Amino acid sequence: MEAGRLAGWSGSTATHNSSMHGDLSSSIIRGQVRFIKPRHVLEIGAGYTSIFLLQALKDNMIELQKFQKLQQQDKCGIPLNESYMVPQCVADEVDQRVQPAMLHTVDDLSHPGQTADKVKQIAKQLGSEKHLTLHVEDAWGFAEKLDEEVVLDLIWLDFGAGHRLEEFLERWWPRLNSKGGLLMIHSSLTNAITRKFIAKYQMPEAEEKERLGDYEIFGLLEPHKRYQNSFSIFQKRSDAYLEPIYSMGP
């Protein structure tokens, strides 16, 4: 229940099942979403982490609305002294991202300990339901159903894809934002099947490079645990994508 308590939201504990959430990836996911301000997130396997994703999307909107207001008042800057303000807002980014972002979460309710069926009700209680689209169905047929206009900024893979990870990648990689979109895979580092899959992409042959284009991978491990202890992140960086440079000084 530790992670449930850390969340600090009544209701998040109702989706907590210690056989599925022994680690702190929910906190990392929440921080990531707060940081990268995604417009569309896909989660495969709904439940506890959905609540963190939804809260982060809601908090993002509140933050972006504040930025937009400051921008409209010409006050969006960091004050250096009384007479000089360093411009802070990236106007286009604020305007584009201020719309309600969406979590598309998919679950077929097949796990006996699933808590996906509680997500809608808790999202309502927490006021984050406008960011939620819950799809109760099998994940493997879902790629064809998600509106083809949707570009995913974050994919959170939290179900047992196991030997079908390659198939998962094939379906969803093309849907990921090529300018830094993230694919985050749960329980990736100390499981033999997932580890083999990750290793293949860490030392890619020409064939993988050709297929996926540029990307980066890293993973984090909670070293004191045997299960539910890690995640790996692929960042897609196609077409020589680079972040913009906004400042020149040291």
CB closer to ligand SAM, 46 vs 76:
46
Cβ 94 vs Cβ 70: under 8 Å? no
CB of 117 to ligand SAM, least distance (A): 9
Asked if residue 139 binds ligand SAM (CB under 6 A), the reply is yes
Asked if residue 49 binds ligand SAM (CB under 6 A), the reply is yes
Binds ligand SAM by CB under 6 A, chosen from 48, 172, 197, 231: 48
Binding span for ligand SAM by CB under 6 A among 93-101, 112-120, 198-206, 231-239: 112-120
Asked if residue 47 binds ligand SAM (CB under 6 A), the reply is yes
Helix axes 119-126, 48-72, angle to 10 degrees: 30
CB closer to ligand SAM, 94 vs 155:
155
CB closer to ligand SAM, 97 vs 135:
135
Strand 179-186 relative to strand 230-237, pairing: antiparallel
**Which tokens belong to 175?**
């849907």
CB of 44 to ligand SAM, least distance (A): 6
Q: Which of positions 20-39 make contact with ligand SAM (CB under 6 A)?
A: 20-21
CB closer to ligand SAM, 168 vs 197:
168
Binding span for ligand SAM by CB under 6 A among 83-91, 102-110, 145-153, 164-172: 102-110
CB of 109 to ligand SAM, least distance (A): 5
CB closer to ligand SAM, 111 vs 195:
111
Report phi then psi at 215, rounded to 5.
Answer: -160, 165
Nearest to 168 by CA among 203, 124, 198: 198
16-28 exposure pattern, b = at least 16 Cβ within 10 A, e = fewer: beeebbbbbbbeb
Binds ligand SAM by CB under 6 A, chosen from 12, 115, 188, 229: 115
Binding span for ligand SAM by CB under 6 A among 44-52, 79-87, 95-103, 206-214: 44-52
CA separation for the pair 29, 50 (Å, rounded): 10
CB closer to ligand SAM, 91 vs 109:
109
Asked if residue 46 binds ligand SAM (CB under 6 A), the reply is yes
Cα separation of the two ends of the chain: 44
Nearest to 93 by CA among 244, 229, 218: 244
What's the gap between Cα 119 and its chain centre? 17
Q: Which residues bind ligand SAM (CB under 6 A)?
A: 15, 20-21, 45-49, 106-111, 114-116, 138-140, 158-159
